[in-house]
Structure 1
Amino acid sequence: MAPRIEAPEFRLTKTDVVKKVEDILAPLKLSEEVQKRIREVYDEEMRIGLARNPSRKSCLQMENTYLPELPNGTEEGEYLALDLGGTNFRVILLQLEKGRVVSDEVQHYFVPEPLRVGPGSELFDFLAACIYDFLETRSKLDHKLPLGFTFSFPMTQQDLNVGILVSWTKSFNCPGVVGEDAVKMLNEAIQRRGDLEVEVVAVLNDTTGTLVQGAFLDRKCAIGLIIGTGSNACYIERVDRVEKWEGTHGDIKEVVVDIEWGAFGDNGVLDFMKTEYDQMLDKNSLLVGSFTFEKLFSGKYLGELTRLVLVKLAEEGLMFGGKIPSQLLRPGSFPTRFVSLVEQDAVLKLARPVSSESCFHELGIEHGSDDLKILQQVCFAVTERAAILLAICLSATLMRVDREECTIAVDGSLYKYHPRLHHLLEHYIIKMTPGKKFSLLLAEDGSGKGAGLIAAIANRLRTRKHS
């Protein structure tokens, strides 16, 4: 049975305001017709993304990760993982026995700005030096260790251990790396040292790592999902559907496909459901016309979306006595953590919404009791739409995986800290895929432990190939 979903109680002092508020929030409510159309578009973009010679380009990358299997409980030995995605990165040593993690050691390193924008070879030399430091302090320099490399930048894969950088993001912009294989560059840096017995055997992003970590915890896992600052998903696909597979795939029956759904809609296929708030958010974003799906709900944007709705309500004279607080006119002033705090009050049904009050207090905004009630309605509206959008794509992916029972491994700050998102997701997936057995599993640190586990899988595949 689907969990019961209750919107916050909505009783205002001035009852005539209720309908006006609901009219302003109405564009955020997705009718069944709109939901059906989004699902049809998503299915079509997936199909085109996997096609060999499509008539047009899909907005879904549908990247072949070349990962043909997941943990099976036989993983043994020591494996390294390197997780690079920002100014701080991690080196991790994972020790496995009979498919169990018996120890994991982690060390963080900081990447100075000159290395983030300097020659690419110097960045990879630095990473190799950190691997040396990590192993030296643990007296493991003489250990022969396979390494899984989480490289959280846009890349195209040509094999499990080949990741071609498409573009740098965040604070990185090293010349000489775009268009090159990051695995090859790291392996060359390791070889230049001449004092490490380490080989990079697999490259991945955090979404693939989440799926692998989830499968390690639950063998029924076949979908990986990130709902954090951004969002993405991957899943196990039948090889015969991956028409664009380069070369032969031998006896491989399944492979993990990285959807890269943050860009869903970048080609305009979702324009029909975008509200004026979505359009305004995109117009004022750093990369206009990009990451369309993420901008509808992810942690980086959910608070900003809420702010734009609040400004609209104030402009219409429905909040703050008809005066727009100057604090709300500043982009980014209403962070997504505020949405979670307001939703927490609604879930607990507090007589006095303390957390909601604290948000306005932190912003220095004077407010009345009706303003708090409207704020709860806005936060529920953006949250519910987020859950429905995610559920549409997840339910379609569940049907594509076509397993009797499927676990979805989830990680990401929005999923972990939002008090209602998990239950809303469950509710709408059940509604959209009646009778389908599934569960949502929190699988943390896919970019760390997941990378080490993929190194173990890659090692197993290599051993099998040469036996």
Structure 2
Amino acid sequence: MGPVGQHSDKRAVRSVTACWHDPAPSKCFATSNDNCSILAFSKKTIYSRERNGNNQNKLHIRQEKEFHIRATEGINIMACTMLRPEHAHSWLDNAIRVAPLRLSDSWRKQQVEAALCKVQLTGAKVLRIKEVFHSEMERGIHQQPSSLQMENTYIPELPDGTEEGLFLALDLGGTNFRVILLELANGVVIRQHVKHYHIGEELRLGCGERLFDFLAECVSDFVRSQNLNGTRLPLGFTFSFPMIQKGLDVGILLTWTKSFNCPSVVGRDAVQMLREAINRRGDSHVEVLAVLNDTAGTLIQGAVLDKRTAIGLILGTGSNACYMERADRVQHWEGQRHGEKQVIIDIEWGAFGDNGVLDFIKTDYDRKVDDNSLITNSFTFEKYISGKYLGEIVRVVLVKLVEDCVLFGGTASDTLLTSGAFTTSLVSLIEQDTVDNSCDNTSEILNKLGLSYDADDIAVVKFVCETVSNRAALLVSICTAVLLERLDRPDTTIAVDGSLYTYHPRLKSWMNKYIRLLAPGKKFRLLLAEDGSGKGAGLVAAIAVRLKQRFSET
């Protein structure tokens, strides 16, 4: 699209009206009714105002460099407004607001909206979160104090189509541990076998050495079942917990998350512990070549599906993101460099805000959820957005509304009062009702929870689920928009995996809307890249084999 003076729709330029100031480019917003049209401009663009005959402000733009107007596809430009910050905030408020609550009782409506108002993010808070996330990324990448770890994964390249052979992948991140055999040809998985092993609570919360012995036992059982005891098998280990990586095959466990807490092995190398456990058994020829988390695996798997992939997101029980960073920006690099041009950076954004930088959006509901969590005062961002916690946030809000006598006649069932009883899967089902303009799922859920309800109660429950879900989608989108701006590529694919993204009926559409809003002019797409934690780990093991051969030849 050319400069404004050459724009095909000159009426759009003539209609530009302004509540004007001299804005910084990063804080420029424009509107087209309730839709987003984006103004991107040079710092040297000169602005002037004058009154026309209708006593309206007109903004006339004289260019020294370049000025673009891009309208959201399919939207006619009615009016574009360059906004002061306070007007930008107001416009954003409207753009991100959930559908209004409609109740027959106006008093109940007012009480519910008052109880939910702090859960709904304002435009001012959205912009502040964006600035804070960018700042925390910069501090983290430069090894300054930050809630974002910005960990170097030492994965310097993506699959190139030459990967072939048999590889093992281990996937540890939840109560089900997976061992996977992958056969690769031309960089594509042509055959795979998977076996699941349940990890009981006594292992997840007990001695860490016993946990790794169990993992080695599962590997041995799987290799034996595939008749591969005498075969050398390169292995990629998806270890979906925060770690400090000192190499592709060195990952120091920082802390456990989700339902795991084995304190005795915090601070130790996960790869070394797995190797030692496998060696103690001595019944398989497995070589652990790489450790990664599920987010990096998702990016790798996405790159196989679409070479434009440069961001990986996990939106499931937990949440995290990674992206391709320029190697010259990365200060933390143990060992010798080999001319790498890029590397995957694991952001560990679940901990975003653990240092207090997000306290301005924390509600009493969030504090209660945190107080009842396995590890308090940690993984702040994850507790706003992940599948493990969204249902619990909804439950806590519903209980508060019952206590205020504006829901279920002021009477809660024992089930509703039980922590963890309202899962995120229920939130997704209720949100499906909103999509379908139905109440069937909501009614069935409330019946199973043992609650007495009327039509207004159903509307309130749907409103709470929408509000909490929308906040999660918006928070993810804010941070993803920052990543797109940091990459500054002409076209980027974002690989996403996780149960929340897969099963929540509205998350993807909200994310598409909000990312476009917050990263104007950045071309992107969301790509479902399933099983990055499995296939991705095998592919990284194949990359590790290639790198090992290359380095041995130099």
Pair in the same fold by TM > 0.5: yes
1:276: how far off? Answer: 2.1
1:313: how far off? Answer: 2.5
Can you list the C-alpha shifts for 1:232-277, whole angstroms capped at 9, x where unaligned? 1111111222123334423111111111111111111011111222
- Given the alignment of the two structures, is residue 46 of structure 1 paired with residue 134 of structure 2, yes or no? no
Instruction: State whether residues 234 and 256 of structure 1, in contact with CA within 8 Å, keep that contact through their aligned partners in structure 2.
Output: yes
Q: 2:542 aligns with which of 453, 456, 463?
A: 456
Which stretch shifts more, 282-291 or 210-219?
282-291
In 2, Cα distance between the equivalents of 1:32 and 1:127? 47
1:126: how far off? Answer: 4.5
Percent identity between matched residues is 56
Q: 1:159 aligns with which of 238, 247, 254?
A: 247
Q: Which residue identity lines up with residue 377 of structure 2 in the other structure?
A: G
1:215 maps to which residue? 303
Which stretch shifts more, 143-152 or 57-66?
143-152
Give 3-state SS (helix, strand or coil) of 1:329's partner. Answer: coil
Structure with bigger gyration radius = 2
Which stretch shifts more, 102-111 or 356-365?
102-111
1:330: how far off? Answer: 2.9
- Given the alignment of the two structures, is residue 438 of structure 1 paired with residue 524 of structure 2, yes or no? yes
Give 3-state SS (helix, strand or coil) of 1:72's partner. Answer: coil
1:224 maps to which residue? 312
Could you list the runs of 5+ residues in structure 2 that have no partner in the other structure?
1-71, 75-94
Instruction: State whether residues 206 and 261 of structure 2, in contact with CA within 8 Å, keep that contact through their aligned partners in structure 1.
Output: no
Can you list the C-alpha shifts for 1:86-108, whole angstroms capped at 9, x where unaligned? 45422211111112211011122
1:384: how far off? Answer: 1.1
1:30: how far off? Answer: 1.4
In 2, Cα distance between the equivalents of 1:119 and 1:318? 47
Which stretch shifts more, 303-312 or 190-199?
190-199
- Given the alignment of the two structures, is residue 179 of structure 1 paired with residue 267 of structure 2, yes or no? yes
1:275 maps to which residue? 363
- Comparing both chains, which one has the higher relative contact order based on Cα–Cα distances under 8 Å and sequence gaps of 6 or more? 1
2:42 maps to which residue? none
1:348 maps to which residue? 436
1:31: how far off? Answer: 1.5
Give 3-state SS (helix, strand or coil) of 2:378's partner. Answer: coil
Could you list the runs of 5+ residues in structure 1 that have no partner in the other structure?
none
2:476 maps to which residue? 390
- Given the alignment of the two structures, is residue 29 of structure 1 paired with residue 120 of structure 2, yes or no? yes
In 2, Cα distance between the equivalents of 1:388 and 1:5? 8
1:70: how far off? Answer: 1.2
Give 3-state SS (helix, strand or coil) of 1:28's partner. Answer: coil
Distance 1:202 1:36, change over 3 A: same
Can you list the C-alpha shifts for 1:207-253, whole angstroms capped at 9, x where unaligned? 11111111121111111111111111111111222123334423111
Matches for 1:126-275 after TM superposition, within 5 Å: 126-168=214-256, 170-171=259-260, 173=262, 175=264, 177-275=265-363
Give 3-state SS (helix, strand or coil) of 1:105's partner. Answer: strand
Give 3-state SS (helix, strand or coil) of 2:486's partner. Answer: helix
1:24: how far off? Answer: 2.2
Q: 1:358 aligns with which of 444, 459, 467?
A: 444
Q: 1:310 aligns with which of 398, 422, 443?
A: 398
In 2, Cα distance between the equivalents of 1:333 and 1:80? 37
2:31 maps to which residue? none
In 2, Cα distance between the equivalents of 1:178 and 1:364? 42
The number of residues matched between the two structures is 461
Q: Which residue identity lines up with residue 143 of structure 1 in the other structure?
A: T
- Given the alignment of the two structures, is residue 66 of structure 1 paired with residue 169 of structure 2, yes or no? no
Q: Which residue identity lines up with residue 262 of structure 2 in the other structure?
A: N
Give 3-state SS (helix, strand or coil) of 1:94's partner. Answer: strand
1:315: how far off? Answer: 3.1
Can you list the C-alpha shifts for 1:161-213, whole angstroms capped at 9, x where unaligned? 111223445345374x4333222233344445555332111011111111111
In 2, Cα distance between the equivalents of 1:60 and 1:278? 20
Give 3-state SS (helix, strand or coil) of 2:422's partner. Answer: coil
Distance 1:372 1:116, change over 3 A: closer
Distance 1:141 1:267, change over 3 A: same
In 2, Cα distance between the equivalents of 1:207 and 1:218? 16
Instruction: State whether residues 226 and 233 of structure 1, in contact with CA within 8 Å, keep that contact through their aligned partners in structure 2.
Output: yes
Can you list the C-alpha shifts for 1:409-437, whole angstroms capped at 9, x where unaligned? 11111111111111111110011112211
Which stretch shifts more, 359-368 or 318-327?
318-327
2:79 maps to which residue? none
In 2, Cα distance between the equivalents of 1:188 and 1:322? 57
In 2, Cα distance between the equivalents of 1:149 and 1:327? 39
Instruction: State whether residues 2 and 427 of structure 1, in contact with CA within 8 Å, keep that contact through their aligned partners in structure 2.
Output: no
Instruction: State whether residues 247 and 334 of structure 2, in contact with CA within 8 Å, keep that contact through their aligned partners in structure 1.
Output: no
1:454: how far off? Answer: 0.5
Instruction: State whether residues 327 and 365 of structure 1, in contact with CA within 8 Å, keep that contact through their aligned partners in structure 2.
Output: no
1:135: how far off? Answer: 2.6
Instruction: State whether residues 5 and 427 of structure 1, in contact with CA within 8 Å, keep that contact through their aligned partners in structure 2.
Output: no
Indicate the RMSD between aligned Cα atoms, in angstroms: 2.4
1:348: how far off? Answer: 0.7
